[in-house]
Amino acid sequence: MEADPEQPGGPAIGGSAAEAAHAVEAWFAAQPELEVERVGDAGWLTVLRGERKRTIPVHLEVGTHTLVLQSFFLRAPDEDEAGVFRFLLQRNLRTYVCRFALDDTGDILLVGVLPLHAVTTAEVDRLLGQVLQAADDAFNVALRMGFASYIEREQAWREKVGAGRNPIS
C-alpha cells in the first residue's frame, strides 16, 4: 500500500532513502517552532527543548537502509560510572526505539535506528518524542549520580556567595 506523503500517520512509502528523507522533511515542515539545519544531502540537526534537560541536540541521518538518530545526553560521568550506566541500561527497557549508548570518549548518547520502510512522519514524531521524554526523564538522576561531588562543591559555593540553590541538587 502506498502512503500519501501528506498523511502524517500513513504507512511507509516503500523504503527508499528519498522517501524517508521526504518524511523527515515533512515532519520538520510541520514544526515551525523548531530550527533545523541541513547537514549534507541526508542529514538534519535540530535542538529539542526539555523541562529538565533544557537543550537536547538531535542529529538525524538517512542512510542506505536506515534512518539513524543520535542525541548527546551527558558527558562521561566523573564518578559512579557503574551506577549511571546501570540506571540508563534499565531505562532502555522502557523505550520504544531509542537506547542509551556510549561514544568512543565515554560520553552518553541516545540513539535510535529505523529501517527505511518504517519511516513516516508519524514514526519521526514518535522517535523525536521519545528522545525528548527519555532525555528529560533521566537527566537529573544521571547528572546527580555522575557528578555528585561537583554539584556539592557548587552548592557550597552558592551558599557562600549568597546565591540561590541550583535546582539540580
Q: Is 50 helix (H, G, I), strand (E, B) or coil?
A: coil
Q: What residue segments make up the domains of the chain, in order of their start?
A: 17-161
Please determine, for residue 8, whether its predicted confidence score (pLDDT) is greater than 50: no
Taking only the tens place, the pLDDT of each residue in 20-68 is 999 999 999 999 999 999 999 999 999 999 999 999 999 999 999 999 9
Q: Is 155 helix (H, G, I), strand (E, B) or coil?
A: helix
* Residue type (1 letter), 156: A
Architecture of the domain whose range is 17-161: 2-Layer Sandwich (3.30)
CB contact at 8 A, 116 and 15: yes
- Count of beta carbons in the 10 Å neighbourhood of residue 104: 5
Taking only the tens place, the pLDDT of each residue in 122-136 is 999 999 999 999 999
The pLDDT, as a whole number, for residue 13 is 46
Q: pLDDT averaged over the chain?
A: 89
The pLDDT, as a whole number, for residue 152 is 84
pTM of the entire predicted model: 0.83
Element (H, E) at 57: strand 56-62
CB contact at 8 A, 112 and 69: yes
Question: Judging by beta carbons within 10 Å of its beta carbon (0-12, 13-18, 19+), is residue 118 exposed, middle or buried?
Answer: middle
